[in-house]
Chain A
């Protein structure tokens, strides 16, 4: 998968959680949970969505690496 494919998949999952957000203007280095007002329940839904869309296992201990869009793309590209 290319990085832009991964990005599209991530956006698709995020749109279900924060439908009102304009994801294309997102600063890749900002904390996603703060910028998009994602609470812990929504964050878990986000992780479930990534798991189901991209078929990756993300252990809870790795969650800190997935705090920003840049971090998420880096982490998923390496998987």
Chain B
């Protein structure tokens, strides 16, 4: 048996509202399928399931606001489990002579509060003992008889909050994450200037060969170069957890996307290191559009291993970022501007980008951070290899 719980969709999330079930009891699901929509303070998120199996029971009704970790549904994850709870199989007879059901004090208290008739509850614990989850199940069955059926979740789904409320919620979520970051993470900052003439020339030539729909933006080169540089300095790609740095193998770049109505969301471009420039551009376009439409997946919210923020469009030259915990680094890009540039004794004018690294000093030191920026610069000078 597997439990599907309210996921934590970010360092700042304490509770979430179940908006809609995408599955019904009896449906087969596989790892990665979207089975529910959850409303957080930041957005509505399509939540993926971590295990494959059969949906056995839905324990929470759409519209319910529950803490992170609450069991939302039970999955049958293997054949043995499946037969044990298939309704067609008769329940084992109760041991003769048992005057009262075995039940934990917590379950008894819950049953009283929820008005569940204990004689009608089949325990699934040891020796048929009634557990908390059995009471929850029984209570949800009782509610289901009264409430509209789960098959019509939209009928009971709450109306979306007004944009002002949504914005306040988003500000609170950002406030919680950023305050935690400044409280816990000793940041160090490094900054470097990158001559962008070679990559921009390469990009211009590449875009001339392409229809406008397949055009590449400079930021795609930057994202890919970040992924390559993280391959050389993997300590910056991961999480600070339990007082130690845990670098991650896959590079999922959290990409800060600002919303027109205000606020920002940082969903991850999954597997950025393995994508070609074209794939990365398509993935970014898809991610931006889904972020603005409020249709993100839970893995995109939770799996970012580093954050990139690009404020170049806003006329800003240098970005000193605040790390998104539990990540250990943030890369900031400013605007590409023409600047005087001395090279081999000759002064010229070049398009110059200021790249910054905000690093968690618990996880890495300035030297490794500097190696990252060096590597980033080197990769950008070989755009054909990106």
Contact = CB atoms under 8 A, between A and B. Distances in A.
Interface string A52-75: 000001111100000000000000
A7 B284 CA distance: 30
A47 interface: yes
B208 A20 contact: no
B212 A47 contact: yes
A27 interface: no
Contacts of B204: 60-61
Contacts, number: 37
Given A18-B260, A20-B260, A60-B207, A40 B217 contact: yes
Nearest to B210: A60
A44 interface: yes
Question: Secondary structure at chain B's binding surface: helix, strand, loop or mixed?
Answer: helix
B285 A58 contact: no
B215 interface: yes
B288 interface: yes
B215 A60 contact: yes
Interface residues of B, number: 18
B285 A57 contact: no
A20 to B, nearest CB: 7
A37 interface: yes
Interface string A20-47: 1000000000000100010111001001
A41 B219 CA distance: 9
A26 to B, nearest CB: 16
Contacts of B218: 40
B213 interface: yes
A33 to B, nearest CB: 8
Contacts of A61: 204
A43 B207 CA distance: 15
Given A39-B314, A40-B312, 4 more contacts: A39-B258, A44-B217, A51-B212, A60-B215
Interface of A: 18-20, 33, 37, 39-41, 44, 47-48, 51, 57-61
21 contacts: A18-B260, A20-B260, A33-B313, A37-B260, A39-B258, A39-B313, A39-B314, A40-B312, A40-B313, A41-B217, A41-B219, A41-B284, A44-B212, A44-B217, A47-B212, A48-B212, A48-B215, A58-B212, A60-B207, A60-B208, A61-B204
